[in-house]
Structure 1
Amino acid sequence: MRELACDVAVIGAGTAGLAAHGAATRAGARAVLIERGPGGTTCARVGCMPSKLLIEAARAAHDARGTGIFGITVGEVRVDGAAVMRRVRALRDGFVASVFEGLARIPADLRLSGTASFSDPTTLLVDDHTRVAAGAVVIATGSTPSLPPPLRPVADRVLTTDTLFEIETLPESLAVLGAGPVGLELAQAMARLGVRVTLLDPAGAVGGTRDPEVAACAAALIGAELDLRLGATVESAEAGGDGVRLTWRPEAGGQESGTFARVLAAAGRPPNLSGLDLAAAGIACDEDGLPDFNPRTLQCGTAPVFIAGDANQEHPVLHEAQRQGWIAGGNAARFPQVEAPPPWPAFALVFTDPQIAAIGRAFDPEAARDWVVGETAFADQGRARAMDRAAGLIRVYADPDGRLTGAAMIGPKIEHLAHLMAVAVQEGWTAATFLDRPFYHPTLEEGLQSAVRAVAARTGGTR
């Protein structure tokens, strides 16, 4: 067995792992990167990028059908499902290739292929070919789609986000299990591409939205495009011809069923931790197998082990995974001296149309009694009306002194407004400070300005 010594060993070459390796190297450490494959990062291979490619195809089809309001007539809009999926894969493969190009720049003797497991807190076994002795270890093993128990009897007929983008063409019908951000995005995209979609979730809200007003608006707007079944619990699945027959229990009781050409499981991605033998590293885990770690330093207990990205389930989004990788890699290189940077404001985006965002303090019905909430709707917003996109809602949260603490939004191009709000929350702006910034007219950003102005009016900060 090969013996390899290093300052930092990073397990996983996804977004967090690559960032951790880079941070450790920049800190002067000799860092080894271990990847069992397939690599290419979740974002580029099966997550952010291929899903946005599908969403953009759906947007093009939807926009083409809606030109009549502008006095523009086009011919019949036809969707070539095979061509849609070929484009998704072609561009996806380009994004993945760019990740591998970056990986190839790491010296070959510092890259290992195989499955790593702990034999003690600072020793890793990589398959049966290499023993790695490290000063510290970063776990960045990512996640894998879960398969809900009712779907296991027909597992060979079920799609996940790891396999969806490999289908040759679009199905005639699709059941999506899970109305979280990923399930919601993919369900709407498929519906706009002409697929008959049923979206089922036992929860009462879509996209993880916690603000009840924004959640209701989102369910109404997006639910108008597909068969949305909130409060529905899938109980069984069986093969039915070439498809799958699902039976579910609605929130109101009783039983309903339907047969679908394909089923997509979008009910979460648990972390890849089971094969690491964390017990050998002396790391305590909870009943779900998740290690106890400091969310700011990312250190697991007192061990020289750090965990970043989807592997810790703290914030399973790319920008957080990348930052966690920087923190974990730097701390591993400096161990036992570790830094605890302040957290970023919570920031979640759902790339549906209209888009959904949540920033900063999450809505809580009890705590919100003491908040100041400023609200504005897009129905009368000038730029949104000009675009024929006048639907949606913004709710901005603040403390009684006017300090902005968070927001929930649904509306056109919300991703841009949400970034403004994230900066405001991070910088600790009051409503008055926010309003003393330039807002060009006519823009969608004026909708956010109106909501903050409503806060200012209630906190004495009106300009």
Structure 2
Amino acid sequence: MQEPPLRELRCDVAVIGAGTAGMAAYRAAREAGARAVLIEAGPGGSTCARVGCMPSKLLITAAKAAHDARRAGEFGVATGPIRVDGVATLQRVRRERDRFVAGVLSEFEKFPNEDRVNGRARFVARDILVLEDRDTRIAFGAAVIAAGSSPAVPELLAGLGDRVLTTDTLFEIPDLPRSLAVIGGGPVGIEIAQAMARLGVAVTLLDGGHALAGLRDPDLVARANALFAAEMTLHFGTKVERAESAGDGIRLTWAGKDGAGGSGVFDRVLAAAGRPPSLRGLGLEEAGLSLDEKGGPCFDPRTLMGEGAPIFVAGDAAASRPVLHEAARQGRIAGRNAAALVRSGPTGIATPAPWVNLAMVFTDPGTAAVGETYDPERAAERVVGAVDFSRQGRARIMDRAAGALRIYADRAGCLTGAEMLCPEAEHLGHLLAMAIQDGQTAQDLRDRPFYHPTVEEGLVTALTRIIDGLDAR
């Protein structure tokens, strides 16, 4: 039987992946005058909308409602017994999640039909892609890899079926489990762990380190560990050594670095040890890209151009700052630079200054890391302004008085970073990120209007202590 002829496509810029970074790259390339195609392997809808930011925040918000109802008595408000309907909770999560996904897909469908290609792409040369079924061949001038990420699942959990969850499957379960083991205390792990605990699930979190939510400052680490230990069982410095079926659940056995160990049986286990880039099967070697020790492409972090080929990397595939606002910006940079490379050559490639680092974890209290964070080796170069939120006025009014904030400045008083575990961390983090990005000093920001009584007044306390510290020098 004669094989069907290959479908041949030619374009200036080929974008692999139609998530946040990929769609931004496609738009930017088109706006720069390039002929671009957008390749999506499915299911589409972006990591954020389908399995990341949006469904997790829906679960967290449900957990907050339950938590606030239980604590209403602190304000003299009687609510009676609180019952969480797990089926209804997860149905709402999926219903609203699907709205967000539909919005992303509708944007994708607005692009011209001739620019949208469905299939799994693979490089066969530095300027050629083929789709998985091999009936389409795409020749390009430049490409953007925006293939997203996939959850990492420890090998020892293989073969245990749907009792093992990832963020790709967590939001599809029909009801809340009675018990849950969370492996990994990073941003995703601690967010889900706290939400599940507040929804009535018995949660055990195991982590190989001794800090949660990516915190680094020792005081904040200690505060966080104490706060979260009140809501769940924590095992730090542990490694899961064995996982096996136990009735309808899973028995985990772990060992600690100090020689201590333990075991437990859980209805479900959530693997929350990270989301590495989805690069397998892309044929990076055939593209001529230089690869790092993990098999990922080496690339310039400012231009996003890979070494050895006219290929750019953006979003989760870049594995540098896997958050949506960075993915969108990286997509725009990669798309513009890919178009410029084709139309003007290397001299047309822009090297924009990076945004100040801004990372948040939506626990309660929340955390945020802005710019330069805790570094004991730079203590002599810094002035630190601290505030304890257990005594902050508005925090006490809301019965959310917990945590602390550290703001860092150089010896000239210029703001360089901050780390926090406190109420409204997402808002304080934004204010500080903008101030640092604009090159403000502690005095500059202190001189801005701050309303009373607000959580933002905590910044005033910390900034004043930086100013006083500068004067003391």
TM-score, with length taken from structure 2: 0.96
1:249-287 superposed Cα distances (whole Å, 9 cap, x missing partner): 123313200000000000011111111111111101012
Please name the residue that 1:50 is paired with.
55
Question: What's the CA shift for 1:153?
Answer: 4.4
1:218-266 superposed Cα distances (whole Å, 9 cap, x missing partner): 1111221111112111111000000000001123313200000000000
Could you tell which deviates more after superposition, 371-380 or 9-18? 371-380
Question: What's the CA shift for 1:302?
Answer: 4.5
Please name the residue that 1:21 is paired with.
26
Q: Say yes or no: does 1:188 pair with 2:194.
A: yes
Residue 177 (structure 2) aligned to one of 171, 191, 199: 171
Structure 1 Cα separation of the partners of residues 234 and 393 of structure 2: 30
Please name the residue that 2:383 is paired with.
372
Alignment of 1:401-420 (within 5 A): 401-420=412-431
Please name the residue that 1:104 is paired with.
109
Give structure 1 stretches of 5+ with no counterpart.
none
Q: Say yes or no: does 1:252 pair with 2:283.
A: no
Number of residues paired by the alignment?
462
Contact 1:402 1:461 in 2 (8 A): no
Contact 2:126 2:310 in 1 (8 A): yes
Structure 2 Cα separation of the partners of residues 461 and 124 of structure 1: 63
Q: Say yes or no: does 1:453 pair with 2:468.
A: no
Structure 2 residue matching 1:32: 3-state secondary structure? strand
Give structure 2 stretches of 5+ with no counterpart.
1-5
Please name the residue that 1:72 is paired with.
77
Structure 1 Cα separation of the partners of residues 156 and 215 of structure 2: 25
Q: Percent identity?
A: 58
Please name the residue that 2:92 is paired with.
87
Q: Say yes or no: does 1:399 pair with 2:432.
A: no
1:96-141 superposed Cα distances (whole Å, 9 cap, x missing partner): 0001100010111111111111111111111212111111100000
Q: Where do 4+ consecutive residues of structure 1 move more than 3 Å?
A: none
1:199-219 superposed Cα distances (whole Å, 9 cap, x missing partner): 000011001111111111111
Contact 2:385 2:408 in 1 (8 A): yes
Structure 1 Cα separation of the partners of residues 380 and 219 of structure 2: 15
The RMSD of aligned alpha carbons is 1.2
Alignment of 1:281-430 (within 5 A): 281-335=287-341, 336=345, 337-430=348-441
Q: Which amino acid in the other structure matches residue 52 of structure 1? A: K
Structure 2 Cα separation of the partners of residues 132 and 340 of structure 1: 28
Structure 2 Cα separation of the partners of residues 302 and 250 of structure 1: 44
Residue 61 (structure 1) aligned to one of 34, 53, 66: 66
Structure 1 Cα separation of the partners of residues 386 and 260 of structure 2: 38
Contact 1:231 1:251 in 2 (8 A): yes
1:148-192 superposed Cα distances (whole Å, 9 cap, x missing partner): 133224254310000000000000000000000000000000000
Please name the residue that 2:135 is paired with.
129
Please name the residue that 2:44 is paired with.
39
Contact 2:358 2:371 in 1 (8 A): yes
Structure 1 residue matching 2:376: 3-state secondary structure? coil
Contact 1:300 1:306 in 2 (8 A): yes
TM-score, with length taken from structure 1: 0.98
Q: Which amino acid in the other structure matches residue 16 of structure 1? A: A
Please name the residue that 1:157 is paired with.
163
Structure 2 Cα separation of the partners of residues 156 and 312 of structure 1: 29
Please name the residue that 2:154 is paired with.
148
Question: What's the CA shift for 1:453?
Answer: 1.1
Structure 2 residue matching 1:366: 3-state secondary structure? helix
1:72-111 superposed Cα distances (whole Å, 9 cap, x missing partner): 1112110000000000000000000001100010111111
Structure 2 Cα separation of the partners of residues 97 and 460 of structure 1: 55
Contact 1:222 1:353 in 2 (8 A): no
Contact 1:431 1:461 in 2 (8 A): no
Alignment of 1:226-245 (within 5 A): 226-245=232-251
1:282-314 superposed Cα distances (whole Å, 9 cap, x missing partner): 101012111110000000014210000000101
Residue 13 (structure 2) aligned to one of 8, 17, 34: 8
Residue 283 (structure 2) aligned to one of 277, 282, 290: 277
